[in-house]
Structure 1
Amino acid sequence: MLKIENSSKHQHGSGGFGIDILWPGMVQDSDDSGIGAIGRIDQANVKPGTVISMHPHKDDEILTYMRKGRMLHLDTVGNEEEISDTRLMLMNAGHTFQHEERILGEKGESMQCLQIFIRPSENDLAPQVQFHDFGTPYSDNNWRLIAGPEDAPLTFRSQTWIQDTRLAEGCELKLPVVPVSNVVRLLYVFEGEARIGDAILNTGESIIIEDDDVHTVTALDTTDLVLFTTDPAAKVFRGGMFSGNMRPRL
């Protein structure tokens, strides 16, 4: 297992807009900034009233994983939808797609989310947007499937799975059984503190797991966890606008 500390992230933004950008492959001896289909993970903290004006995406699968606050989403395929900590959104950008984000809420509140850029299996797919209301913000002490290639609330067009849980302090939970063999997993702490193996992970930190063993994670505080699973042998397009390989560009 390889721990990714917050110092490995890149900071971006100004004013009411701030994000910490994780390219998970950058911590490995690799020529790819991503890992399999996991291209990029942004942890965002944005003040109400902020407008992120219409901008393009191409060949990205973008999951907006909201934890606090609300956001109004508008796009070029006709959607005008509110996103919250229970109602999540997956944008399958495909060949042509643009969207705008308007952060809602009262002064003093902030929108906090992960914006997750997953790589599709191929480029130039048809654009589409998916919404799903999970009914509750958290899955307490059990893994919940958020998105996957099939039989999931939200559908990726690649061999990628995302699950989450909120662990109570002192609670132990085994990682879920892998969907296929020889996967790579990335366990991300959105907020809190947890231990897996000999590693302690705090808010914003993560760990890469390159085996299929059933590891146990222990919450040292109330902890929100997001688990990414990717099949590194599956077909993937590495040229997406944001999910693509950044190694040659940085």
Structure 2
Amino acid sequence: MIELRPFDSIGSADHGWLDAHHHFSFAGYHDPSRVNWGALRVWNDDKIAPKSGFPTHPHQDMEIITYVRSGAITHRDSMGNEGRTEAGDVQVMSAGRGVAHSEFNLEDEECTLFQIWIIPDQRGGEPGWGARKFPKGDRAGQFVTLASGAANDDASSDEGALPIRTDARVLGATIKAGESVTYTPAQADRHLYLVPATGSIRVGNIEAKARDGLAITKEDSITVTALEDSELVLVDAA
């Protein structure tokens, strides 16, 4: 099953400094058919104006993955962490029993990002934060795991990805027009959610444009063909 969720059909809110689009029910946007996709709870497509951002606010019991598409975002939290994540790179915050953080665009240019929330396997625990550079060249023509619940397992192919505390993976790929890339989940009943950050793609007989969502399940594998040069982000969740 592959369901196309066009960008113009998802929730949105323009706060001036923040132009937000919500693939799933969030804040003032509620669609009972789009509350979650398996353990995937939030996929926000945010555009943050220069010199603005999210002031300090709390989170609890959520794995929060930020994929920066353009510009950069600066993170500060109550654990004492501070870091600047640039376009193409990823940060992860495991909220655990509770953490407060801020996310600001301190740059002179707009920042665009995907913020993805995945429900953890267990509640509580110590909060944590980490960030990593993932050069786009390393993702050319293949999916590379950016964050994974198996990242700390030396026997896992996800070694080197940022760790998250949930049975899920966040992956990225870049593909040239006319090229294809295939992804095979461990089981067909996994919940896959695929968004082309740029470009346009075809999966089966369904075409998706930049920032559209594809909700996929009960597929043994998916083959993504680029109709234009494309940058892909994929979540594979229980």
Asked if TM exceeds 0.5, the reply is yes
**Other-structure match for 2:103:** 101
Q: Please tell me whether the aligned partners of residues 24 and 31 of structure 2 are also in contact (alpha carbons under 8 angstroms).
A: no
Amino acid at match of 1:45: K
Q: 2:162 corresponds to which letter in structure 1?
A: L
Cross-structure match for 1:170: 178
1:202 aligns with 2:204: no
Distance 1:70 1:27 in 2: 29
Q: Percent identity?
A: 23
Is residue 155 from structure 1 mapped to residue 156 from structure 2 by the alignment? no
**Shift of residue 197, structure 1, vs aligned partner:** 1.0
The residue aligned with 2:219 is: 212
Mapped pair 1:51 → 2:58: no
Cα pair 1:187 1:208 within 8 Å, conserved: yes
AA aligned to 1:160 is A
SS in 1 for 2:65: strand
Instruction: Kindly provide the amino acid, as one letter, of the partner of residue 2 in structure 1.
Output: E
The Cα shift of 1:19 comes to 1.0
Q: Over the residues paired in the alignment, what is the CA RMSD in angstroms?
A: 2.2
TM-score, with structure 1 as normaliser = 0.83
Q: Deviations over 1:129-154 (max 9, x none)?
A: 12222244761111111111113311
Aligned residue for 1:188, secondary structure, equals strand
2:13 counterpart of 1:5:
no
Give the letter for the 2:173 counterpart: T
**Structure 1 residues 137 and 50: alpha-carbon distance in aligned structure 2, compared to 1, 3 A threshold:** farther
What are the superposed Cα offsets for residues 180-208 of structure 1, whole Å, 9 maximum, x if unpaired?
45312111111211111111101111212
Counterpart in the other structure of 2:231 = 224
Task: Provide the secondary structure at the position in 2 that maps to 1:227.
Answer: strand
Q: Which residue is equivalent to 2:144? A: 144
Q: 1:215, 1:179 → 2: CA distance?
A: 12
> RCO greater where, 1 or 2, for CA within 8 Å and sep 6 or more?
1
* Aligned 8 A contact 2:92 2:129 in 1: yes
Corresponding residue for 2:154? none
Gaps of 5+ in 1: 232-250
Q: Name the SS of the counterpart of 1:125 in structure 2.
A: coil
Secondary structure at the counterpart of residue 7 of structure 1 = helix
